[in-house]
Amino acid sequence: MVNTFMILLFPYLDFIPFAVPRYLLFRDKLRISFRWVMILIIAMATVNAAVFYFFNAAGYAFAAQWTTAIRYGFMLMNLILSFALIKDSFAKLMFTYLLLFAWSFFVFGNANFIESRFFWEFSNIHPYLIYNCARMLIYGVTCPFMFHFFHHTVREAMMIQDDALWRYLWIIPLFSAVFGMLYCFNDDLYAYASWEFLISRYLMLLGSCYVSYVALKVLKISQSRMQLEETLTYTDRCMMAQKKQFDVLAKHMEDMQKARHDLRQHLTVVQHYVDTDDKKGLKNYLEMYKRELPADVVELYSRNDVINALICYYAGLSRDHKIRFDARIDYPDTTSISETDITVLLGNLLENAVEACMRQLSGQGFIKLHMKSYKKNALLILLDNSCNETVTFENGIPLSSKRAGKGIGVGSIKDIAKRYHGVVRFQQKDNLFCTSVMMQYDENQ
């Protein structure tokens, strides 16, 4: 009875303990509910248990010859199932799978070592009993550390949108996985009792985790650097726009001083037309005078100087390229959203919109921007722009027209929105591209 239970338990311990952390990591990207994912995993493990029991019915020696083939066969099926259930890139899915693969081999390897070295004779009487118990014990000991690693370091790295780097990053744990698989095809069962075998499992797990940790930290630093460069770029544009506004304002004040100086002469002429009752001449003179008055060219879209300067920059850029630009801004006076974040987010949105209009081959391009407070403590940004080309989307994210994969700017927009518990939505309707961003803020800050 005990032996039968251990045979049936064997496949469940192979996959379920290592599949659950992976699906939890991608819980927000599952194609179906987490509940149904668990049902499918358990169903797959049940089929595996039935197959494994069938081979063990022919004897333990016969089953031992097929255990590795059965394990790897169902491992491949579980991998394919995960690709069908999770909406993310191949590189990210393989990276997490291989890290969990290294963890599972560490647990299996330690259990093999304990069984082969200390309980060999007992295992001949009760196959799989010591092995299964050792696996559960080792999994329980390592679980807190690995869960912390996955749900902090790895989860944060999953948010980084850089497909070019991820194409190479997933190969790092692949080498450790291949190294760990060398012992799996060894027919010498005594090899599992050697210290060399045990050390190889420790090197496999620690090597995979440490190198991946360093690589992910480098990736995060690289992303922070790109975001800083973005911030500096848009800050520089804000300063340029503010300087331009200051120059225009200075010239406007100079023209107004000149106009006030000439006012006496103009009043004398007006008085002459009044005295001679020359209404037609007075009308013509006033029309000429209005045309000569300095125009009110100072643009004011928002009371916030930084946002106003940034919008003025892209409004000017739009005029230079004959793009119709309209902005209605009602930005809150007090908000916890930092000027750096709103500058990068708004700058990316407007830059993408201007570039889309510039690529337009027919018709006049247009940009409509609307910012307003939504409900109590939420900021809503709506941006519509003309777009004649068909945009390719991946999981609701527009792919870049400049580089393979998602654009860096789109990644920054999503990261900033998420930082403020917000959401971003991209949508194309015919020749109109719509972007909506909603972010939560604290009005007391």
Give pLDDT tens digits for 197-242: 667 677 777 777 777 777 777 767 776 676 667 667 766 666 665 5
Domain boundary among 167, 196, 229: 229
Number of domains within the chain: 2
Domain boundary among 229, 249, 281: 229
The helix/strand/coil state of 341 is helix
Give the predicted TM-score (pTM) of the model: 0.58
Encode burial over 103-125: b for 16+ CB neighbours within 10 A, e otherwise.
bbbbbbbbbbbbbbeebeeebee
Looking at residues 186-190, what average pLDDT do you find? 52
| Strands in 46-122 per DSSP E | none
Same structural domain, 46 and 162? yes
**Helices 408-419 and 339-358, packing angle to 10 deg:** 150
Same structural domain, 221 and 335? no
Domain span at 371: 322-440
Does 421 reside within a domain?
Answer: yes
Residue 248 pLDDT greater than 60, yes or no: no
Q: What is the separation, in whole angstroms, between the first and last Cα of the chain?
A: 66
Q: What tokens were used for 79?
A: 């991998």
Same structural domain, 329 and 202? no
Domain boundary among 229, 248, 282: 229
Q: What is the band of 290 on the pLDDT scale with cuts at 50, 70, 90?
A: low
Which of 93-97, 291-295, 418-422 has the weakest average pLDDT?
291-295
Mean of all residue pLDDT scores within the chain: 78
Q: Could you tell me the CATH number of the domain that includes residue 435? A: 3.30.565.10
Same structural domain, 67 and 170? yes
56, 7 contact by CB (below 8 A): yes
The helix/strand/coil state of 323 is coil
Tell me the percentage of the chain whose pLDDT exceeds 70.
75
Looking at residues 345-369, what average pLDDT do you find? 87
Tell me the percentage of the chain whose pLDDT exceeds 90.
7
Residue 35 pLDDT greater than 60, yes or no: yes
Element of type H or E holding 381: strand 378-386
